[in-house]
Amino acid sequence: MSAIGIDVGGTKCLAVKVDEAGHVLDELVTPSPVAGGILSTLIDIVARFPDVTSVGVGMPGAVSSDGVVAFAPHLPEVRDMHLRAELQQRLGLPVSVDNDATCAAIAEWKTGAGVGCDDLVMVTLGTGIGGGIIAGGRVLRGAHGYAGEFGHDTVQRDGHPCPCGRRGCWEQYASGTGLARLAGTGSGEEAFDAFVSGDTTAIAAMGEFVDWVVLGLVNVLNTCDPELFVLGGGLGSRPELLPLVRSRLAEAMPGHGHRRAPRVEAARLGPRAGAIGAAMLCNLR
């Protein structure tokens, strides 16, 4: 028995075929579909893998508990898409659809940095910010499936505009987009590389960036009280970020000196995490 997991991103779709233990058997990367082509692209991806017993899809944005993608800020053509029902009807297979960062959290909890920990929060720092919550050994999705959208917590009133339609969202300051803005570079990765090489402008920008990261993590800490933060995404997994976040989080958290700070670890499954977690969805429901 094997499952397919597909992580739909803004520029590419990553699909993996896994066995019952979550081991990757095969992998496929394709460009993300243009407007209106998501359903056909996903069907085509599944058709490339033989002997599939279930399909899981990780989508950015707000995904309801019944697999409806209400909106995806970085995929503006996706609105109120009944993705699970449509895929299941077309494929004739069990299908699960969830938020991409929730999928990544599931994978890290089961086979990555969070093995053995039943209270963790996954925060993905990439172009935007995503989140997933494991609480008491269960995936926390909320009443409608939208839990974990930390990237759209307001941290600056009337701040930078966000693709979600609001202003001052955390992801406008603590994502690759935010770091690039602070450093005056073309991307967050470019700014991070300049920081590592000792560029003074990038070093100053990184200091402010880490402050924004920690501000949001403290807000999440106050709500979820996790034992572990797992940082993923293109920036979150950078090893140079971890010691900076660990030291400042311990200092910034309420009750500093009177409570234990949560552990902060980098995601171990890399860019496959969302796809691996998506493949595990059918066995968790």
Domain assignment of residue 237, yes or no:
yes
Residues 42 and 64 in one domain: yes
Residues 133 and 259 in one domain: yes
Domain assignment of residue 145, yes or no:
yes
With 70 as the cut, is the pLDDT of residue 279 above it? yes
Work out the pLDDT band at 74, boundaries 50, 70, 90: low
| Residue 165 CB partners (closer than 8 Å, separation 6+) | none
Residues 234 and 148 in one domain: yes
Share of the chain above pLDDT 90, in %: 75
With 70 as the cut, is the pLDDT of residue 1 above it? no
The helix (H) or strand (E) run that includes residue 34 is: none
Share of the chain above pLDDT 70, in %: 97
Residues 240 and 257 in one domain: yes
Residue 201's pLDDT is what? 97
With 80 as the cut, is the pLDDT of residue 61 above it? yes
> Mean pLDDT, to the nearest integer, of 81-88?
94
Residue 34's pLDDT is what? 61
Q: List the one residue out of 140, 149, 14 whose CA is nearest residue 71.
A: 149
Domain assignment of residue 137, yes or no:
yes
Residue 234's pLDDT is what? 87
Residue 20's pLDDT is what? 84
Domain assignment of residue 39, yes or no:
yes
Domain of residue 93: give its range: 3-103+272-284
pLDDT tens, residue by residue, 240-260: 999 999 999 999 988 877 788
77 and 39 Cβ atoms separated by less than 8 Å? no
99 and 59 Cβ atoms separated by less than 8 Å? yes
Work out the pLDDT band at 68, boundaries 50, 70, 90: very high
Residues 218 and 80 in one domain: no
Residue 195's pLDDT is what? 97
Amino acid at position 6, single letter:
I
> Mean pLDDT, to the nearest integer, of 177-182?
96
The helix (H) or strand (E) run that includes residue 76 is: none
- Domain tally for the chain? 2
Neighbours of 245 (CB within 10 A): 19
With 60 as the cut, is the pLDDT of residue 35 above it? no
Residues 16 and 72 in one domain: yes
Residue 158's pLDDT is what? 94
Domain assignment of residue 111, yes or no:
no
Work out the pLDDT band at 285, boundaries 50, 70, 90: low
Q: Which of 72-86, 187-201, 270-284 has the lowest mean pLDDT?
A: 72-86
Residues 122 and 241 in one domain: yes
Give the CATH number of the domain where residue 32 resides.
3.30.420.40
Neighbours of 110 (CB within 10 A): 18
With 90 as the cut, is the pLDDT of residue 76 above it? no
Residues 66 and 160 in one domain: no
The dihedral of CA 230, 236, 242, 248: what is its sign? negative
Beta bridge partners of 3: 18, 54
Residue 33's pLDDT is what? 72
Work out the pLDDT band at 129, boundaries 50, 70, 90: very high
Domain assignment of residue 110, yes or no:
no
Residues 182 and 241 in one domain: yes
